[in-house]
Amino acid sequence: MKIKKIIFPTLAVLWMLLIFFFSSQDGNESSGLSDKIVFFIIDIFWGNDFSSLPLEKKDAIINFWTLIIRKGAHFTIFGILALLYYFSLTSFKKDNKMYFISIIFVIIYACFDEFHQSFTNGRTPKFTDVLIDTSGAVFFLLLVYFINFFIQKKHNSPVE
């Protein structure tokens, strides 16, 4: 369908702009956003009991959830980008190579994203983030691959 050839590439570009926007936030803005999510989670699980915990325990909980939220965001955001690349590419040509091409595009954009962060105050580029971004892409695309595989298998199975 022609609409897919417009919608998916447009969504991919908009998603890349969103990633660029988040990468443009300085260290304080970026930390502030994740801190809000972390303290929301802490409030859900610990509520008022959190304030009575020893300082070391509080720090450990905050550090753990900060890591999960920040790295989970990388994993998910770039996983979604991989899906948008994949659906953009397959709207032009159905081919299993599109999984790999999508991953290559994610790696390139993840590297660009980390390079961009090197110019942002209070942010540091990390190769581990590129690996997490790539892992998210691989995971999300594997989900699509297996869903496609099982749909195909179901449609090709003999009628009982």
d(CA 39, CA 45): 10
Structural tokens at position 130: 């590129």
In one-letter notation, the amino acid at residue 24 is S
Q: Which long-range contacts (CB under 8 A, 24 or more apart) does 35-40 make?
A: 35/66, 37/69, 38/62, 38/65, 38/66, 38/69
Question: Is residue 109 within a helix (H) or strand (E), and if so which, with residue range?
Answer: helix 97-117
Which of these, 70, 80, 69, lies nearest to 16 by C-alpha position? 80
d(CA 133, CA 109): 9
Which of these, 20, 12, 28, lies nearest to 114 by C-alpha position? 20
pLDDT in tens, 19-52: 999 999 998 898 998 999 999 999 999 998 999 9
pLDDT in tens, 82-110: 999 999 999 999 899 999 999 999 999 99
pLDDT, mean of residues 60-78: 96
Considering the entire predicted model, what is its pTM?
0.89
